[in-house]
Chains A and B, each alone.
Chain A
Amino acid sequence: MKVVGARIPRYDGVAHVTGRTTYVDDVRIPGTLWVKALRSPHHHARIQKMDTRPAEDMAGVHAVITHADVPLLEYGHLSALGIPADEPLLALDEVRYKGQPIAVVAAKDEETAAEAVSRIDIEFEELPALTDVRQAFDTDAPQIHREGNWYTHFEDEMDHRQIRKGDIDWAFEHADTIVQGVYRPAAIEHAPLETQTCQVVPEPSGRLTIYSCTQALYFSMGVVAAHLQVPLSKLKFVGGTTGGGFGGKVDTATETMCALLAQKSGRPVKWRWTREEEFLCSSTRAPWHMEIADAVTADGWILGRKMLTLHDAGAYSRFSPYGLTKHSFHHTGAYTIPNLEFDGYVVYTNRVPTTAMRGFGVTSVSFAAEMHMSRIADVLGVDPIEIRLKNANRIGDTSPNGIVYTDPSTVSTIQTIAEAIGNELKAEYRTMTNAPRSEEWLPEHLVAQLGNPEEH
């Protein structure tokens, strides 16, 4: 190997550090119009009346679009996977989060566009909002989404994601101790240096060139083509260089609206979100609510896990059903737990929709499962490193959804860190490998369940 494994300088590193990389905001097209959005000032409201004519009549305004201008108003981020769409590109008759776009204006400059937005005549009737996922199921909770307060389209139209493995009652019956805890990581921002930015140029050929900061050129092109109801040949996405994404720029936040404004005005248009818009109106990492109860033996074997997850999706589903499913597949972390009962819900709230972010679906459960593991060790008075090695997944163990692990490195990464921090492991833990479990390593009541990988 000469090139693979070498510490080669970054391909685009010099351009980045000398300020010569061309980001979308660096593209200059003569005659460009600037875009601003009318956004919901309320967490939840019905739109009673809207008149965009005062904006359209302003000098310097070239196009205003609302829901009525979108050929396909709702196209879900996961429509391609058969998950139904629930979010209009521009609000129809209801807004479900503060900052939701209702209309967008293209004008000769940003000031004119902002002034035009302020002249749109709109009236709302405020509706009760829901922000605590734990109250979504209450009988007196306001219904905030047309389909109810949680997503209902998992396989076989189940209203939650479910994992079942082994015999959970057996595990809790045979446990010496049951440890319960609740884990709640916060919503955080992607906080990219480059805010959502898009430039669209209508070409003489009738095509649209879309300069985009998307993390996924073809995915975003598919979203725009679906909303516009045009074949992919009508669009050309230009990009491939993103000024910070972390998952937030998988959302196609600006491209479709800019494409529609370019079509309507016949002029190039550009939309560059302000820092405030990026913070307040772009999607966030989801806050999660997780409850874990583990059935454990006095010497630290985890026999079973019962878990409830409420995934705070915000106002619309976006990627949340995907994120929750991924979460469920990994809810035992780096360990093998033979008996499982997991129930997870994608719950709607009146906040900006949450979306993918680095570690999507799993960052939450890594926190919950690992903190719970530390607590179990503390409650039982066993070593926090040894309890992890003991329960670590090994070759031949199976995942929560029945897949055999082939190359787990839990044991070796833990041993490496134990050595790095100067923790002297007992001989049996020092010599442990990721090789399949042998019966002498298992407590009697787990032999039947873990001793023979073929049987579980």
Chain B
Amino acid sequence: MAKHTGRGIAAIEYPTGMNQNGDPSQAWIKVKPDGRIDVFAGTADIGNGSKTIQTQIVAETIGVPYDWVTYDNSNTDSSPLCTGTFASRATFVAGNAALKAAQQVKQKLLEIAGKELEINPADLEIVDGEVVAKGAPQTKMSVGDVAGAATFVHGELITGTGAQLKPYSAIIDSETGRVDTPPHSAISYATCAAEVEVDDETGEVRVLRLQQCYDVGRAINPTQVEGQIEGGAMMGLGLGVLENCYPYYPDVEHRGGAFGSYLAPSMEDMPQIDTILIENPSADGPYGAKGIGEMANNPQPPAIAAAVHDAVGVWITELPITPERVLRALETKESGGAEPRREGKKVVFDEELSVNAVSAGGMRFEVPG
């Protein structure tokens, strides 16, 4: 009886935005008389941090400090449509809507400033809340004064609107599943290495360390994207070794109706997590960003399962990898029953789980060769 360590690896990809697109997001912006910026968008912040991200995108695009920008997603009377916060779409799709609205605002600020400074707007830029003549930085005017002039001299309201929509990508052939255009906004990539310790007496699997690399396109806010990746890792750990609605699935009895009877990961389960970001910018994401919110819980279960095999030589292909499953697999292995069936060039695992074994003949998985 001993504890064994092992390591496993998994590489994954995941799309940004709704599958097959057709999922619009919109934003609009108004400028107060002192140059402060109000953003209105319908993007719910579910803890993913989209309020912060969209605020950063707007501040950067207009050229004003972050704390000049107020973000309101509180209701559907004042905020325009956002399809929703899911499908890893908030940063990319809703972020692009905010970006486009901010570009309009910037253009209008430059036009008003051009009139005030009697300079062609194309020769002006906005830096840290000031409109500055390119190449002549002493000629400048604060964005607050520009907004004041717009309001009280020119009689204008500076606003901007933005909408992002990638048209629906249709399946053009139901036989092959081919689509006519890319059915996503971008694709992100990640690799995870898991280190585990398996106790062959209790069957318990402890995840010791997760080393993860994500291509995020562009980290609009590195702290937040690392938070998504680390939080997702814990969710993936739950999927891998702890959580199950139906302990006797496919039987549906004995469900846990409380946190006390449902094993969600806790701080005690948290391994060392090392996060490495790669920035391979997407062609049309805001500042090159891709969405990684969802995929953050995808690579851990297979990396953990491979690490368990590396540690004790058994493949657990039904999740979660519970102590009971580990012990049963070890028992089978000891009695010589863990080997796959080999027939010709076929190597067949898990036959007892297949529809071929369980179905009374209505569905078959036939493999040639």
Residues on A lying within 8 angstroms of B by beta carbon are: 1-12, 43, 81, 98, 131-141, 154-156, 158, 161-165, 168-169, 172-173, 175-189, 191, 214-219, 221, 232, 235-242, 244-247, 249-250, 275-276, 279-280, 284, 287, 289, 291, 293, 295, 306, 308, 310, 322, 325-326, 328-330, 333-334, 342, 349-351, 356, 358-363, 366-371, 373-375, 378-379, 384-385, 388, 392-393, 400-403, 405-410, 412-414, 416-417, 420-421
Q: Which residues of B contact A362 (CB under 8 A)?
A: 14-15, 294-295, 298
Instruction: Output the least CB separation between A354 and chain B (Å).
Output: 10
Contacts of A356 in B (CB 8 A): 86
Chain B positions within 8 Å of A189 at CB level:
243, 245, 262, 264
Bound form: Cα–Cα A402–B358 in Å? 34
A-B CB proximity, top 6 nearest: A216-B84, A137-B362, A370-B302, A409-B215, A240-B73, A182-B350
Residues of chain A within 8 A (CB-CB) of B350 are 180-183
Of B141-149, B150-158, B316-324, which stretch is located at the interface? B316-324
11 inter-chain pairs at a CB distance below 8 angstroms, sorted by A residue, are A4-B287, A11-B71, A164-B177, A178-B367, A216-B86, A239-B75, A241-B45, A289-B355, A291-B354, A370-B12, A407-B282
With a cutoff of 8 Å between Cβ atoms, the chain A residues found around residue B191 in the complex are 410, 413-414, 416-417
Q: How far is the CB of A351 from chain B (nearest CB, A)?
A: 5
Question: Which residues of B sit under 8 angstroms from A218, Cβ to Cβ?
Answer: 42, 76, 81-84
Q: How far is the CA of A4 from the CA of B102 in the complex (A)?
A: 14
- CA–CA, A416 to B302, complex, Å? 18
Contacts of B264 in A (CB 8 A): 189, 191
Q: How far is the CA of A139 from the CA of B244 in the complex (A)?
A: 30
The answer to whether A279 touches B256 (Cβ under 8 A) is yes
- Assembly CA distance A68 to B263 (angstroms): 40
B189 and A186 contacting across the interface, CB-CB below 8 Å: no
Shortest A278–chain B CB gap in Å is: 9
Q: Which of B44-69 contact A (CB under 8 A)?
A: 44-47, 49, 51-52, 55-57, 59-60, 65-66
Q: Kindly state whether residue B19 has any CB partner on chain A within 8 Å.
A: yes
In the complex with contacts A187-B246, A359-B294, A413-B190 CB distance below 8 A: yes
What are the residues of chain A within 8 A of B276 when measuring CB–CB?
416-417, 420
Measured between C-beta atoms, what is the minimum distance from A373 to chain B in Å? 8
**A409 nearest CB across to chain B (Å):** 4
Q: Which residues of A contact B221 (CB under 8 A)?
A: 5-8
Could you say which of B9, B181, B345 contacts A384, with CB atoms under 8 Å apart?
B9
The CA-CA distance from A275 to B260 in the complex, in Å, is 11
Tell whether, in the assembled complex, residue A328 and residue B177 are in contact, meaning their CB atoms are under 8 Å apart.
yes
B28-36, B132-140, B247-255, B329-337 - the one binding chain A: B247-255
Q: Is B15 touching A217 in the complex (CB atoms < 8 A)?
A: no
Which A residue sits closest to B353, measured CB to CB? A182
Known contacts A5-B220, A181-B317, A413-B11; 20 further A-B pairs (Cβ under 8 A)? A5-B222, A9-B223, A135-B360, A136-B363, A138-B361, A183-B350, A187-B244, A188-B244, A217-B73, A237-B75, A239-B44, A239-B75, A249-B46, A306-B367, A326-B19, A334-B13, A359-B297, A374-B10, A401-B171, A421-B211
Binds A, one of B109-117, B159-167, B196-204, B303-311: B303-311
Q: Is the CB of B52 within 8 A of A244?
A: no
Residues of chain A with a CB closer than 8 A to B278's CB: 409, 412-413, 416
Are the C-beta atoms of A322 and B299 separated by less than 8 Å?
no
Assembled-state Cα–Cα distance A216/B81 (Å) = 9
Q: Which residue of B lies closest to A2 (CB)?
A: B60
A280-B255 contact in complex given A139-B362, A413-B214, C-beta closer than 8 Å: yes
Interchain CA distance A405-B188 in the complex, whole Å: 11
Task: State whether B44 touches A186 (Cβ < 8 A).
Answer: no
- CB contacts (< 8 Å) of B255 on chain A: these are 279-280
A188-B244, A356-B86 given; A241·B44 CB < 8 A: yes
Complex contact A137–B74 (CB within 8 A): no
B271 → chain A closest CB, angstroms: 14
Q: How far is the CB of B81 from chain A (nearest CB, A)?
A: 5
> From residue A392, how far is it (CB to closest CB) to chain B in Å?
7
| Bound complex: CA A280 to CA B190 (Å) | 33
Docked CA distance A188–B82 (Å): 27
| Contact indicator B365/A138 (Cβ below 8 Å) | no
Which residues of chain B from 269 to 305 have any CB-CB distance to chain A below 8 Å in the complex? 274, 276, 278, 280-283, 287, 293-299, 301-303, 305
Chain A residues near B246 (CB-CB < 8 A) = 186-187, 287, 351
Asked whether, in the complex, the Cβ of B84 is within 8 Å of the Cβ of A417, the reply is: no
Known contacts A240-B45, A371-B306; is-contact A11 B189 (Cβ 8 Å): no
Does B187 reach chain A (CB closer than 8 Å)? Answer: yes
Given the contacts A216-B86, A218-B42, A420-B213, A186 and B249 also touching, CB distance less than 8 Å: yes
